[in-house]
Amino acid sequence: MIPGVSYAQRYWDDVEEGAELPRVDDEITYRRVIMNPATTWDYFPGHHDPEYARSQGQPTIYVNTMHFLGFVDRLATEWGGPGSFIARRKISMQRSIYAGDTMVGEGRVARRYTDDTGPRVRHLVDLELTVKNQRGELCCPASVTLELPARGPEGPG
Amino acid sequence: MGTEATGYDVPVGAYEDAKAMVGTTTPVRFGEIAVNAPMIRHYAAMVRDGNASYWDEDFAERHWGGAVAPPGMLMTWLIPLEWTPGGGRPVPLLTARVPLPGDTFINVSHDAEHFAPIRVGDHLNVVEELVDVSEAKRTSLGTGHFVTTVSTYRRQDGELVARATNVLYRFSSSSEDA
Amino acid sequence: MSGDAPAAGRAVEQESGFDLPIGTYDEARAMIGTRTEVEFATHDVAWPLIKYFCAMVQDGNASHWDEEYAREQWGAVVSPPALLMTWAMAPDWRPGNPRPRPLLAGQVPLPGTTVVSVGCDAEFFRPIRVGDRLNVEEELVDVSELKRTRLGEGHFLTTAATYRLGDGTPVARYSHLLFRFTPGDGEAP
């Protein structure tokens, strides 16, 4: 086991609908926004060029789609555990997160169910998540369908 | 919005403190990532280097015995990740740990000798030595000291791949000439 | 030092790959159903890029950091699903072809002068494993009528991308919603 790495696993059987996910706060600096193109190779200028961002009516550079995706997935799998499989994830970017903002991630379990329409039974959880900024403004609502291991022979992977 | 101190805050001290450090050698430090093809491609695209060694796998196989990295990426393979799950600050380079009066720095020269190609799959490690700190000098940037370090890079099997001498100018941001 | 500093060069690329073609709504509608050629990644899914991305979003999931755990759980270290697009992204530059190839959304002629991403809906069919080599195909699905939002006036574009392995096995389907607009005079937030 590597220190600091998340291993704790949640099982589908133990999930309760309506359960709240722990809140996650993440301060986003210029450096974190610049890490967007560095790590995703997305060179859209809104994410690294302040002049371009201002020409779009934005105050400064802002995080890219993939950063939102990664933060949402992190919320889901920090709660669900490293054995979770993200089967579906939908986000809406209603407001940008700018260099200087804090990403505030929260969520709840909307539904717990099984799906046997495919080659194997999947044990699924639907999560409703939000990414807000430090002013409580909603930036990114998200829905994630997570496949979790169940206490039995079937499981994702 | 404040700056983050991950490895770029330099310790303030006297020239004598820096001179006392000359001869210091770091313990061996290992890169956290392996030499890999996508980063090679990305770097070659950034500098617009169309060298077939980096874009044509068959050429690299025939000429080098496998995919190789641009020598310019040498230091990149040893830059610590910005964040790891275990937490903690990345260890700054030796040159950034020398106590001197100056509060900022700029790199001045880098002289590297390469002894063997760096190959995809390699895990590099580095040992750094502080070899010199100059007396105070004046340049157009302000008053400062030249800090010389020598870094020795080896592959996972111990083979020496490169040795680089780096000179960095450590100066006071408030002392710039008009 | 005396004299003026030399004027700074132009800090923005002449051809960024994000130059948006100007055109009409009808021209955009006529493009619906257009499919791009399949773009093949020139490298495999690689662990170093996974680490950099996880470092950026500060995700300590063992599936991305612990090889032993990941092999047992998934058969190999796996990529965060969020990094999907990067694995089949065309390089920013390549020899003999200095212009990056834009995403399909950036090829649609419309009046708006800029674009912003507003939504994405992705479905994943299998884990993305280190060693996989992906390819992607995009399709323009829809272009909305003129709308006014807080950002300005423009059109919503929907593209759908299908990611596959070299043998055609589907990996993911990614639906992307973008707003192509001219900034200013939007409605109050």
CA distance C176 to C181: 16
Q: Which of A47-61, A102-116, C126-140, C146-160 has the lowest mean pLDDT?
A: A47-61
C69: nearest Cα among B33, A151, B32, A7: A7
- A90 occurs within a structural domain: yes
Q: Which of 36-65 (C) contact A at CB < 8 A?
A: 49, 52-63, 65
The pLDDT value given to residue B129: 98
CA distance C182 to C107: 16
Q: Which of 63-92 (C) contact A at CB < 8 A?
A: 63, 65-66, 69, 73-75, 80-83, 85-86, 89, 92
The pLDDT value given to residue C2: 41
Compute the average pLDDT of residues A29-54.
Answer: 90
- A24 close contact with C: CB closer than 8 A: no
- C99 close contact with B: CB closer than 8 A: no
- A115 close contact with C: CB closer than 8 A: no
In this model, does residue B7 exceed pLDDT 60? no
- A7 occurs within a structural domain: no
Q: For residue C91, give the nearest of B41, B85, B177 by CB distance.
A: B41
Asked whether the beta carbons of residue C47 and residue B41 sit closer than 8 angstroms, the reply is no
Mutate to test the interface with B, among A1, A41, A61, A97 (most CBs of B within 10 A): A41
pLDDT in tens, B23-74: 999 999 999 999 999 999 998 888 888 888 988 889 999 989 999 999 999 9
Counting one residue from chain B and one from chain C, the pairs whose CB atoms sit within 8 A come to 55
**What CATH number does residue C117 fall under?**
3.10.129.10
Chain B residues with beta carbon closer than 8 angstroms to that of C65 = 84-85
Provide the domain count of chain C.
1
- A41 occurs within a structural domain: yes
Torsion angles phi and psi, residue C105, rounded to 5: -60, -30
More confident residue, A44 or B26: B26
Give the ipTM of the model, two decimals please. 0.90
What three-state secondary structure class fits A63?
coil
Compute the average pLDDT of residues B109-115.
Answer: 90
- Judged on CB neighbours under 10 Å (0-12, 13-18, 19+), B65 is exposed
- C122 occurs within a structural domain: yes
Do the Cβ atoms of B31 and B124 come closer than 8 Å?
yes
Mutate to test the interface with B, among A6, A29, A78, A134 (most CBs of B within 10 A): A29
- A101 occurs within a structural domain: yes
Torsion angles phi and psi, residue B70, rounded to 5: -60, 135
Q: How many CB atoms lie within 10 A of CB C54?
A: 26
- A154 occurs within a structural domain: no
**What CATH number does residue A44 fall under?**
3.10.129.10
Provide the whole-model pTM. 0.89
DSSP string computed for C73-116: HHSS-B--GGGHHHHTPPPS-BTTB-SPPPPGGGG--BS-SEEE
Domain ranges, ordered by start, for chain B: 15-175
What is the span of the domain harbouring residue A23? 12-147
Torsion angles phi and psi, residue C134, rounded to 5: -100, 160
Q: For residue B1, give the nearest of A4, A6, A100 by CB distance.
A: A100
Tokens of C95: 């020899």
| Torsion angle defined by CA atoms of residues A22, C128, B30 and B106, in that order, rounded to the nearest 10 degrees | -80
Do the Cβ atoms of A12 and A149 come closer than 8 Å?
yes
CA distance B104 to B173: 6
The pLDDT value given to residue C3: 43
The pLDDT value given to residue C80: 98
Chain B residues with beta carbon closer than 8 angstroms to that of C56 = 82-83
Compute the average pLDDT of residues A134-140.
Answer: 96
The pLDDT value given to residue C13: 58
Provide the domain count of chain A.
1
The pLDDT value given to residue C186: 52
- C7 occurs within a structural domain: no
Between CA B136 and CA B148, with CA B142 as vertex, the angle to 5 degrees is 50
DSSP string computed for C167-187: T--EEEEEEEEEEEEEESS--
In this model, does residue B2 exceed pLDDT 50? no
Mutate to test the interface with C, among A9, A24, A69, A138 (most CBs of C within 10 A): A69
Mutate to test the interface with C, among A32, A42, A56, A124 (most CBs of C within 10 A): A56
Asked whether the beta carbons of residue A49 and residue C183 sit closer than 8 angstroms, the reply is no
Tokens of C122: 């992705």
- A58 occurs within a structural domain: yes
Do the Cβ atoms of B104 and B171 come closer than 8 Å?
yes
Helix (H) or strand (E) holding A87: strand A85-92
Q: What is the pLDDT along chain C (189 residues), one digit of tens a residue?
A: 344 445 555 555 555 567 899 999 999 999 999 999 999 998 999 999 999 999 999 999 999 999 999 999 999 999 999 999 999 987 778 888 766 678 899 999 999 999 999 999 999 999 999 999 999 999 999 999 999 999 999 999 999 999 999 999 999 999 999 999 999 865 444
Q: Which of 96-115 (C) contact A at CB < 8 A?
A: 100, 114
The pLDDT value given to residue C142: 98
Q: Where are the beta strands (DSSP E) in chain B?
A: 29-30, 104-114, 125-133, 137-139, 142-154, 160-171
CATH class of the domain defined by B15-175? alpha beta
Nearest CA in chain A to C151: A57
What is the span of the domain harbouring residue C111? 25-44+84-92+100-183
